[in-house]
Structure 1
Amino acid sequence: MPFLAEQHQSRNNDKQSPRRDFDPDSLAARLGSRVLGQDTAVAAVVRALSLSAVGANDPDRPLANLLLVGPTGVGKTELVRRVAAELRAGPDDLCRIDMNALAQEHYAASFSGAPPGYAGSKEAYSLFDRTTVEGDAYRPGIVLFDEVEKAHSTVLRALLQVLDSGTLRLASGQQTLSFRNTLVFMTSNLGSAQLARRGRVWWRRGRAGARLAARGDRTVLQAAIRDFFDPEFLNRIDETAVFTELDHTTAHAVTELEIDLLARRLSRRKIELEVTGAVADLVFARGFDPVYGTRALRRAIRTTLAEPVAIAVLRARGTSSDPVTVHADVRDGEVRTHVDT
């Protein structure tokens, strides 16, 4: 496919620079450096992009229809954002549809726009942004249907048309959206409740328990998918990527990555953050929960580390832009800071 001739590679601060080639191994490494512990899911995405790169996909369907399933907070949405950062202008350069907002039938009409005779029908309004859906000759469109199982059945029927033919005729009958140059991602939390009930049991069993849990996770999730979706829907999905709960080692690596991302954000405000390994250990111990994944961890970083850093900076320089360096360590079970100006 021509769009991969000018693939975009992520740089610091999510700035982009064009690439003249498509290297699956390099792409997998970059995606895996931001979505930790999900090598199987990353491989599924890279496989879809590789097939598109050589034109092996069906030209009358989307470039790929991928269903991402697994517990909350393990990187499903983040993986799609990283793909957008690689192939488009940045991690938010995609069309995200919150399917939870389409759970009731009277809201479902917004999926394909207002029918003839209703307000907005002539303007062909819909939830989709044509630019990020259709892409162009040098980059694909990317659409994320988030929590697809929450949508009303009428929306899922309309989605079948997208997955099967790569087109969506708006309800006005006057315009059609093309998804044939589009990577279609769908996320689902099906089976997560069952995984959550047993998640902490496996977590307490340590690394060996996590390995056994990962195999069990796939069985639980695949069964939940088969029970919920009709066969005609599942037959239109090219591949289901299963995300698993994070083990101890990966969870600690995620902690260090999130702290590093915080340091990068602060550096843009001329604030250099230096932390010891004890800080990461404390955040991990306080914040990571196998049920809630990285979302709980981010909350712990906010209260355990980011807050004392912010207070130290404000005391040292106020709201000025003078450069400062903040050193963070752990004493008496709390993060302590001191500032060099």
Structure 2
Amino acid sequence: MDRLEQFVNQEELVLSPEDVAFVISRWTKIPVSRMLEDEKTKLLHLEDLLVKRVVDQDQAIATIAEAVRRSRSGIKRHNRPIGSFLFLGPTVTGKTELAKTLAEFLFNDESNIVRFDMSEYMEKHSVAKLIGAPPGYVGYDQGGLLTEKVRRNPFSVVLFDEVEKADPDVFNIMLQIMDDGRLTDGQGNTIDFTNTIVILTSNFGAHYILDCYRENKPVERDEMMNVLKTKFRPEFLNRLEWIIFRPLTEVGIGTIVDIQLKVINGILKDQKMTIVCSKDAKKALADRGYNFEMGARPLQRLIEKEILNPLSIGIIDGRFPEGSNVEVRMKKEDFEIVKV
């Protein structure tokens, strides 16, 4: 709204094509970059943009960047989504983060992601929750959670997290989206999915991926297919482009420590506070937070326990008032937070 207010306050209004595109974008939810056709540079350097936020997944990033460029160049069927991907790999290796980053890059806002936790769609009636109840049933007038969100935000990333947990009937809905680029909701409205990116994440088969990297062997597609076929139908798997996420490395977990500190500083900005971490403390976080099988989850718990919890107590009891600069240090084997 600040931009619109600037126009109102000017004595003589001069509108550029960018200004018009900005206003129309706000009304239509169509990204400005799409309307101004200035995506070329970003598309050609997509890997460089994604790698800043997604750690240790260069091959996964390269694969999805190639698929997005093919779609954006027009080399795709027009009645399908921009892309349909199955993100496979161990837990907390960047699958959801890559989906969020794509939403921000392609649609100018990380919030342009329609996310569903498929552990909430394990029952037979789950399809009705997604597309709406048919006429005569309770909730008919409310619409479906999936169809309504995409109707309101047609340019978005549609993320189905932990898809292996969904009821099998839900897979039929996904197949229709991937094949036809549309869904018909319970009220008979046709919802367009051709401007969406559909991403399914799964930890299913993670044991095979972990074993391959542990033994320094390539992940073979045929072997991966044999594993996945125990859970998913082959026709479902063949509609998707698979993206394999490798286990995090010790070097990668160190990078994630830096990223998490930036996130914490962003949260503290409202209180005019900053936090830094000594070299020894960073190393301790990386060493103690690394786990080959569990990805970055132990690091997340460690940061909560050793940084966020004591920091919040210090803010409440007044040791770290607004405007404070604090540092995480090591005191022998323990973390400590001090005002500097």
Shift of 1:161: 0.9
Q: Which amino acid aligns with 2:115?
A: R
Which residue does the alignment assign to 1:60?
79
Q: Give SS of 2:52's match.
A: helix
Q: Does 1:275 align with 2:289?
A: no
Q: Aligned partners of 1:307, 1:112: CA distance in 2, in Å? A: 41
**Maintained 8 Å contact 2:209/2:246:** no
TM-score (norm 2): 0.82
Could you tell me which of 111, 114, 118 is aligned with 2:130? 111
Structure 1, 153-162 or 286-295: larger mean CA deviation: 286-295
Q: Aligned partners of 2:158, 2:250: CA distance in 1, in Å? A: 32
Listed as ranges, the matches of 1:1-341 within 5 Å are 6=33, 20-22=38-40, 23-121=42-140, 123=141, 125-128=143-146, 130=148, 132=150, 135=153, 140-172=155-187, 174-193=188-207, 202=214, 212=216, 215-216=218-219, 221-237=224-240, 239-316=241-318, 322-340=322-340
Query: Deviations along 1:209-263, whole A, 9 cap, x unmatched?
Result: 6xx16x25877644322433222112222x1100010122112222222223222
Q: Aligned partners of 2:291, 2:222: CA distance in 1, in Å? A: 22
Q: Which amino acid aligns with 1:247?
A: T
Structure 1 pair 185–240 and aligned structure 2 pair: CA distance change class (3 A): same
Structure 1, 36-45 or 72-81: larger mean CA deviation: 36-45
Which residue does the alignment assign to 1:11?
none
Shift of 1:142: 1.6
Q: Which amino acid aligns with 1:339?
A: K
| Count of aligned positions | 311
Q: Aligned partners of 1:35, 1:218: CA distance in 2, in Å? A: 23
**In percent, how many aligned pairs have the same letter?**
27
Shift of 1:189: 1.1
Structure 1, 125-134 or 249-258: larger mean CA deviation: 125-134
Q: Aligned partners of 2:152, 2:177: CA distance in 1, in Å? A: 12
Q: Which amino acid aligns with 1:243?
A: F
Q: Aligned partners of 1:222, 1:34: CA distance in 2, in Å? A: 29
Query: Deviations along 1:180-206, whole A, 9 cap, x unmatched?
Result: 11111111111125556x59x94xxxx
Q: Give SS of 1:55's match.
A: coil
Structure 1 pair 25–109 and aligned structure 2 pair: CA distance change class (3 A): same
Structure 1 pair 83–98 and aligned structure 2 pair: CA distance change class (3 A): same
Shift of 1:339: 1.2
Structure 1 pair 235–274 and aligned structure 2 pair: CA distance change class (3 A): closer
- RMSD after superposition: 2.8
Query: Deviations along 1:251-295, whole A, 9 cap, x unmatched?
Result: 222222222322232233211112111111111222222222112
Structure 1 pair 337–152 and aligned structure 2 pair: CA distance change class (3 A): closer
Shift of 1:297: 0.9
Query: Deviations along 1:112-163, whole A, 9 cap, x unmatched?
Result: 2101210222x25112154546745xxx322111111211111111221111
- Structure 2: state its 5+ residue gaps: 1-24
- Structure 1: state its 5+ residue gaps: 9-17, 203-208
